[in-house]
Amino acid sequence: MQIYTYAHLQGVLGSCDVEGMATLLNILNKNSPFIIGAKTAATNATLIGNFCNIRNRSGPRFKSTGKIIMTAATIHLAKKENGKDLQDFQKVYNAIAKKLRDDKEYDDHTGYGPVLVRLSWHSSGTYDKRDNSGGSYGGTFRFKKEANDPLSKGLKNATDFLKPIFDEFPWISHGDLYTLGGVTSIQEMQGPKIPWRPGRVDTDESTTPDNGRLPEPYGDAHWVRNYYDRFGFNDQEVVALLGAHILGRTHLKNSGFDGPWDDDPDIFSNQFYANLLNEDWKFEKNDAGNMQYDSKKGFMMLPTDYALRQDPKYLTYVKKYANDQDAFFEDFKNVYVKLLENGITFEKSSPTYVFKTLKEQKEFKKS
């Protein structure tokens, strides 16, 4: 087991006075079975909230008695794959992008892009801010417990798609591969550039979160707001994130819902919001017995999608994004990065990569 050092904590948390840092190190090294960068993950380490305030007797966790109040949490320190840089990860991006380009027949010629975005969402959407558990860090979607969550039906197609990529680049962690698959797909489907950071670490099966953390499609606006509070998302972030529903389609055999959100399911755009506002929606029972919103054009909306139109606060952002794709792209980019990185502590020096699309690389070679 590797012991915490001043360098580790300064790199992640910044400088603090020597005695305060020493106090934290002493507690962590005595009480935390935490292995930095090992394949066996961090589990329930003990933290001090805002430890730099210890010496000053300030901060929410320092009481008048002078005692340090401890809380249980999970630490997920990012550790980038050794010796790998932008060029290495661009190669992984390119391999995914070329496979997306060459395998266009999947799902009635929609291609694999939408299902890879869904995989990145579901592998990250188990996060819970209350104890910092779940999320993309450990790549635990590779285990049956998480992959067999009923709300993730159909995602075996995505993991099967990525298997030859992992075989070609066995040094990449599963969490990094699942999230990079989503980033690649969004960019190749004409979406915004997504800044991405590596450093997720394959953890063991015991760290797999329980089922039941993914969003149900039946809720109203109150349910949606309460659900996304678990991620720390505000109203604007929720509306921006759900705009990704422009991609792909629902399938009765997987989700119990049926139909696409638009007639261009492989193009990332702001059309989700325009359709939500402008279509004549009817609330109807589908062949699986579930209620969904259907339009004359053959589009559908989930009850949780339509809730964005019914809630005045959400509706403000729906109208904004329907009229301004640039604003949507910017806000989606930010909340999607937050989704992929929730629960992970990156060192201050951790690199952020922005990848070139296949089209950009081709145009660069011509110039």
The residue assigned the tokens 């980019």 is: 333
Q: What is the pLDDT of residues 304-327, one digit of tens each?
A: 999 999 999 999 999 999 999 999
* The Cα angle at residue 34 between residues 29 and 37, in degrees rounded to 5: 120
Q: Find, among 122, 125, 103, the residue nearest to 113 by Cα.
A: 103
pLDDT in tens, 91-131: 999 999 999 999 999 999 999 999 999 999 999 999 999 99
Which superfamily is assigned to 221-337 in CATH? Peroxidase, domain 2 (1.10.420.10)
Residue ranges per structural domain of the chain? 6-72, 86-213+346-366, 221-337
Q: To which H or E segment does residue 291 belong?
A: strand 291-294
CATH class of 86-213+346-366: mainly alpha
Indicate which residues carry an active-site annotation: 122, 261
Predicted confidence (pLDDT) at residue 68 exceeds the cutoff of 80: no
Q: Judge whether residue 19 has pLDDT over 50.
A: no
Q: Taking every pair of C-alpha atoms in the chain, what is the biggest distance, in angstroms? A: 69
SS3 63: coil
Q: What is the pTM of this model?
A: 0.82
Identify the residue with better confidence: 18 or 147: 147
Q: What are phi and psi of 286, to 5 degrees?
A: -90, -175
On the CB side of 237, CA atoms within 13 Å amount to 15
User: Cα 219–224–225 angle (5° rounding)?
Assistant: 145
